[in-house]
Structure 1
């Protein structure tokens, strides 16, 4: 029987067949952070081709978590946007094993009192690690529910004592053509740069993630540390961060530089503002066949809408 694909479904909306062919029973989060100890001392690197990573712990359960059904580990680690490893959703899981995440440092500089360079081991010790179950909404009209592990970004940023003149935070990611085949292409200008307003960066919902499903973050998901801003489209969540800079000027992000008409600086989830090439009013949760209504601010309006009081959210998209 020939089944025709509806005309309103774009290829980026469709879960690859491989996800369904390899789908396993839903992995429950039982035991995540239930006093789990780090295996073998400091956490190692999660294998990009399917091997599960070392456990992180103990973990604090976060009150910010949603109670929605999680996507399973295979979905989250095999269906990714990480253009440094390729533009297809399956490319990161195939190619990211080439990247080494130990040793790893992040420099924090710019308009600060005390610029610092921290190793990932130092970052892990700054605060108790939290498990936060967040919705992840991508601009291509698909979404997931991910059990991230990390620390509030504000904890990291306060280490350098930002100056009163600092208004924005810029994030720069690794761009290594030797291990990242996508960096050798011209699809974006490298390195990948993203930015937040300072109050967005310091908001308690904003997370610096170092793991998922209670384990060390896999390479293809942005190891060893990545940004997660749950009320914004997923591309705002810079992966494999190597530099954080405080500035008084709005950063020019990689996607705004490449296609400013399509990707604005704020990138808040607003179902009433369509992308020029597709509707944002509905989304497909990976693993589901039907679409659901997209929620304003990805459902986090009660927590973050006050950040944008008086702003035209159609103009500042």
Structure 2
């Protein structure tokens, strides 16, 4: 029969910490509680008396932490996770991290305090080091839309660099050589990946990168407006552009049209994500499809079914050709 000492050894904590978890002391951080309880379950440790582990109180929950609520992108992610939650008889609890490390950790702590041990996390604020440590403490934690080396078994992600590579290559194949790129100011992981894919396509085609082609702007539609105005102020030294996301593309497209720039005859545009309805665009936007709903479904399955589940973790982007690209 397992003892407190055995639990402490497996969890990597002191016997006193195990005792505090058993007695539900309020001075133990939720992540440590989760780690101790996981060790108890693994060893078959039985708590004496009428005490019940919080892990047994939250086994009907599936937690989801998104970056923001006001975006179709996160709506699709939530939809995918919810489908799996329902299939497994789980209630879905959704919180927002607001692209901030402290807010993301707070959201996780709230879920852990509710006894939830299966969590799908969309994190843009936490460092790779913090996430790797958290993943070791929480076997039911799965990171979605981000790849972290060393915790691949608990990640479901998109090859973002390949997406912007495909977008830029498509424009090059249509004869474009002066291709702008609208990026985001925030230092999120996919910022570098997507920019690198754009640069790789230019390099393969023997095209030198011009700093005047690059615009870094805040997230949101206003960022796309700013980028478009900046390019216009520079005399629009390009014939095409790749946008970090569809929101940038939609806002920029509207500004260009208001200034009499014909799309795609004068300026070709490719977006990224394919999460906005086609009615947002005239002409319809050529873009890179990000299968975020499918990634959400697989992340939820992985969280519930465990690391040994034979699920796709690395998703590939797809170029969706519509009407916003014109050949030179």
Query: TM-score scaled by structure 2?
Result: 0.22
Query: TM-score scaled by structure 1?
Result: 0.23
* Greater strand content: 1
* Greater helix content: 2
